[in-house]
Amino acid sequence: MSDAKTSPVRPGVVKTVTSLANPTVKDIRSLQQRKFRQQTGRFVAEGLKLVTDAVEAGWPIEIFVHAEKIGTQDAVAQTAAKVKARGGLILQVSEAVLSKMTHRDNPQMVIGVFRQRLKKLADIDASGATVWVALENIKDPGNLGTVIRTVDSVGASGVILIGDTVDPFSIETVRATMGSIFAVPVVKASVEEFLAWKDTFPGPVIGTHLAGAVDYRTIDYPEPMILLMGNEQSGLPQRIADSCDRLVKIPMAGRADSLNLAVSTGIMLYEARRSRLVL
């Protein structure tokens, strides 16, 4: 067994790493922090199926890490061969190293380091669009991951992140997407960019708001459209709410004063789908 601690890692090669001080281990570990994800344009995804599916789908993978003990499994060996053929690095590591990389006591046996893919509003092809879900200033990685997964589930077009939102490539968000991060286009825009762009979009913006007077079950959901959801604490700011073509509310019967953001997004998307006018 060799240790890559003292030898620099090169693309297209296989290394066995057991040292927690290995520089590549440290680099991967640093991707837990947003500033390093932003600096490097990389992110980490965990799990054999998820990483394998992403590689199959052609996502740019830079490093494929697996526990030494599963290196002989067919699926692991096949994915490793593909990554190597594309010039990626393969790391075989101990479970202690995997734990350190992912900050988990019971880590997944496989992780992948991928290049991020973020789109701009100008990349959106409205002609083929169904529903774009726009999320304003949302902060919770679990909510974002769940929304991305739900958008995938209904076959909606993608997610637009407006303003200062949580990072779609944080490990918590990626975990919550359950692999849908590799299937759903994610766009980033400022509030001003979004407000200017939405006027060029050929469909309505349907906003959700607790102050909305209209029951979400009573309106049409034309294709294409934008479904606009607000921040977990404060909801949609007035200026953005005022810019919507429709504002709807999901009625609530009990004592709760609002629904969870991801739950309400799911209700809206499935209502749009049920209406059979979109999706």
Q: Is 252 in the site for ligand SAM (CB under 6 A)?
A: yes
Torsion, Cα 71 80 141 98, to 10 degrees, reads 30
Give whichever of 165 and 208 is closer to ligand SAM, judged by the CB atom: 208
Task: Output DSSP code: residue 15.
Answer: E
Phi, psi of 249 (to 5 degrees): -130, 145
If you search the block for the tokens 């607790």, which residue do you land on?
210
List, as one string, the DSSP characters of 175-236.
HHHTTGGGTS-EEEE-HHHHHHHHTTSSS-EEEE-TT--EEGGGS---SSEEEEE-BTTTBS
Stretch that binds ligand SAM, among 31-39, 170-178, 198-206, 248-256 (CB under 6 A): 248-256
Interactions with ligand SAM, residue window 187-216 (CB under 6 A): 208, 210
Q: Which of 258, 270, 275, 279 binds ligand SAM (CB under 6 A)?
A: 258
**Residues 218-247 vs ligand SAM: string with x where CB under 6 A?**
-----------xx-x-xxx-----------
Distance CA 252, CA 258 (A): 8
Q: Are 127 and 104 in contact (CB under 8 A)?
A: no
Give whichever of 113 and 240 is closer to ligand SAM, judged by the CB atom: 240
Give whichever of 6 and 234 is closer to ligand SAM, judged by the CB atom: 234
Three-state secondary structure readout of 58-102? CCCEEEEEEEHHHCCCHHHHHHHHHHHHCCCEEEEECHHHHHHHH
Rounded least distance, CB 143 to ligand SAM, Å: 9
- 181 bridge partner residues: none
Give whichever of 79 and 208 is closer to ligand SAM, judged by the CB atom: 208
**Please, which residues have CB within 8 angstroms of residue 40's CB and are 6 or more apart in sequence?**
31
Interactions with ligand SAM, residue window 85-124 (CB under 6 A): none
CA atoms within 13 Å, Cβ hemisphere of 12: 3
Give whichever of 1 and 256 is closer to ligand SAM, judged by the CB atom: 256
Q: Is 261 in the site for ligand SAM (CB under 6 A)?
A: yes
Q: Is 163 in the site for ligand SAM (CB under 6 A)?
A: no
Rounded least distance, CB 26 to ligand SAM, Å: 38
Rounded least distance, CB 220 to ligand SAM, Å: 17
Rounded least distance, CB 236 to ligand SAM, Å: 5
Q: Which of 9, 20, 126, 259 binds ligand SAM (CB under 6 A)?
A: 259
Which residue ranges make up the site for ligand SAM (CB under 6 A)?
208, 210, 229-230, 232, 234-236, 249-250, 252, 258-259, 261, 264
